Amino acid sequence: MTGVKESKFAVMLTPKDRYRHRHVRFRGDVLSFVVQYETNLEGKWLPVVRYDTEHGFAHRDLFDKKGNKKKTPMFTEDYNEALTFAEYDIKSNWGIYKKAFLGGA
C-alpha cells in the first residue's frame, strides 16, 4: 500500500530499562502500534507494561515477574490518540510500573 510508513526504535532509559516503540501509519493515521517498557532482570529483558492494538483494539497489558498479564482496554477507538497516551504514560510512569512489577507496590 503506497503511503504506509513504519517507525521502529528503542530508547534506553537506564542501563537496565528500555522503551521499545513501533507504529504503522497511513496518510497520517495510525493503523497499529506497540509500545513497551522492559526491564532487564538476571540478563533477560522482560516486559513490564505494553500498549498495543493486537486483537483489534487498543489496550494495556501489565505484567508481573512470572509473566502473567492483566489486559485493560483503552477507552478510545482513535489509535492516534491511544498511541500518544501510551507513549506519555510509559515515559512518565515507567518507574512506578517497575516498582509494582518487582513487588514493591
pLDDT band at residue 103, thresholds of 50, 70 and 90?
A: confident
> All 3 cell numbers of residue 35?
509500545
pLDDT for the residue numbered 105: 57
Cross-strand partners of 61: 50, 71
In terms of Cα–Cα distance, which of 19, 5, 8, 38 is closest to 88? 19
The per-residue pLDDT for 59 is: 96
Label the pairing between strands 4-14 and 44-52: unpaired
| In contact, 26 and 4? CB cutoff 8 Å | yes
Mean of the pLDDT values across residues 53-62? Answer: 93
